[in-house]
Structure 1
Amino acid sequence: MPINTIELENAIRKVLAISHLEIVDQSSGCGDNYAVLLVSDVFEGKSTLARHRMVNELLKDEIAQMHAFSQKTYTTKQWEALAAKTS
């Protein structure tokens, strides 16, 4: 059974201290393909691969219900710097 956006958000917030979160259902509402953007200080000092592995492990039950899952992970400092560049 596909997971919905609210369930995915709750699962993420339950396991990670998130300062910014964006969830996009890329499957036209059927819940099989999600893209998430996560901003958290728990990513500080970790490589992108380590961050993604951590998120995949923490959300393995939810991800198992999807066809596709993509993620972008940033520290608060990285996110602020990115936002400053686009302003």
Structure 2
Amino acid sequence: MLRAVLNLQRSATPLRRAFSTPSFATEGERTIYEKLSKALSPEILAVSDVSGGCGSMYRVHIGATAFRGLNLVRQHRKVNEILKDDIAGMHGLQLETFVPQSEEY
């Protein structure tokens, strides 16, 4: 039963992404979200300002097929390259990158 629930959640994710507009607490969240969306077309993307709103630290959770075949270090380098201009003004960036699981077995 748990597997069925997980499969349902996984299959619902693209619909949720396609038909909902994310809300952003800060302009920095919006900027990072838009840059990563444009460059990587991720299936899953969440950006959070974890600095209390001052824009000095962000958490990014991103799952993209563009990461397929890349190890974790190369996935992070890819994100860092996309955000290099923004990172220059940040205190830190927390990344969680992954390749989304295929629904085909």
Structure 1 equivalent of residue 83 of structure 2: 59
Structure 1 equivalent of residue 65 of structure 2: 41
List runs of 5+ in structure 1 lacking aligned partners: 81-87
- What percentage of residue pairs aligned between the two structures are identical? 34
Alpha-carbon distance in 2 for matches of 1:4, 1:59: 11
Count of residue pairs brought into register by the alignment = 77
TM-score, normalization by structure 2:
0.67
Shift of 1:16: 1.1
* Higher-RCO chain (CA-CA 8 Å, sequence separation at least 6): 1
SS at match of 1:54: helix
Q: Which has the larger radius of gyration?
A: 2
4+ runs deviating over 3 angstroms: none
List runs of 5+ in structure 2 lacking aligned partners: 1-26
